[in-house]
Amino acid sequence: MDLLTAIILGLVQALTEFLPVSSSGHLVLGQALLGAHDDGGAAFEIAVHFGTLLSVLVVFRLEVVRLFRATFGALAAPSRIGERWKADADLRLAGAIVLGCIPAGIVGLAFKDELEAAFDSVFGVCVALICTGVVLLATRLARPGDGEVTIGRALLIGAAQAAAIMPGVSRSGSTIATALFLGVDRDLAARYSFLLSLPVIFGATLLQARDLIEAPPPGDALLALGAGALVSFVAGIAALVLLLRLVRSGWFAHFGWYCLAAGIAGLIWLA
């Protein structure tokens, strides 16, 4: 993969990671259109996702600090965890994030090889994009809610995130949509979705790191990987701030039309 292609795909990753249009699906389609194939397997996918992981940490740095403080504060006084759980919203959110990651962790470990193979199916990505579009449009039927992310809701949203491991299924789209259907406050649904991505992307990076150590990409590919990660980090910050504003303004469902158009256009291109 040459440097220019890496920069383009890194930009695609950043702009689509947080918008509910499936970044992994766009990377598969982008690589197919550009004729780019990463010899390191999922190395480039990991690099650009790591860049967007850092962008989430930057944008939500204060909230991440509060979540860690609440968690370690509760662990320091285990006899008062029940009391703290009822009184501290940050502790409950931290617990919901941990619970929400369990389904994706199970699916990622159990079906690692099958999921990697799915990135080779452009047809499957197109179908998944169409399904994502239908789900996003259906959120217009969701009743406005003001609830928080309870244990049960966290597990259901986590199941939606697990389904989004498949390329073409939007992670942010599926998790935010599920939260809205469950009556979670719109702003909290968006924040929870992005915070939920942190441990999942970090865990996926560690899982793939072993394979990369055993079979590292060629030296001339490292520059492309670094460039893709840097571009996805910088552009990811801007995309994340933009999406938060769009979700709050009620524009979330409209992304469904784009997913439908992208999926159908991809099927036409394959025909």
Distance (Å) of CA 23 to CA 45, 171, 176: 10, 8, 15
Tens digits of residue pLDDT in 46-58: 787 788 889 999 9
When pLDDT is averaged across residues 138-155 and rounded to a whole number, the result is 90
User: Residue 147 forms beta bridges with which residues?
Assistant: 184
Q: Residue 198: CA atoms inside 13 Å, Cβ hemisphere, count?
A: 19
Tens digits of residue pLDDT in 226-240: 888 898 898 889 888
What is the distance of C-alpha 254 from the center of its chain? 19
Average pLDDT over all residues of the chain? 83
Q: What is the pLDDT of residue 137?
A: 94
Tens digits of residue pLDDT in 105-146: 888 777 766 766 666 677 888 899 999 999 999 998 888 888
The Cα–Cα gap between 241 and 192 comes to 14
The Cα–Cα gap between 29 and 40 comes to 18
As a whole-number percent, the residues of the chain with pLDDT over 90 amount to 34
Domain of residue 145 covers: 3-270
When pLDDT is averaged across residues 14-25 and rounded to a whole number, the result is 76
Q: What is the pLDDT of residue 83?
A: 87
When pLDDT is averaged across residues 72-76 and rounded to a whole number, the result is 89
The Cα–Cα gap between 8 and 28 comes to 13
pTM for the full predicted model = 0.84
92 is written with which tokens?
């409950």
Per-residue confidence band for 40, with pLDDT thresholds at 50, 70 and 90: very low
* Nearest to 168, CA basis, from 132, 114, 217, 138: 132
How many separate domains does the chain show? 1
Residue 157 scores a pLDDT above 80: yes
DSSP string, 124-167: HHHHHHHHHHHHHHHGGGSPP--B---HHHHHHHHHHHHHTTST
* Nearest to 72, CA basis, from 94, 89, 55: 94
H-state helical runs in the chain: 3-17, 23-34, 43-59, 61-76, 81-87, 89-110, 112-118, 122-138, 151-163, 171-181, 186-214, 219-248, 255-270
The Cα–Cα gap between 261 and 251 comes to 17
* Nearest to 225, CA basis, from 34, 33, 50, 12: 50
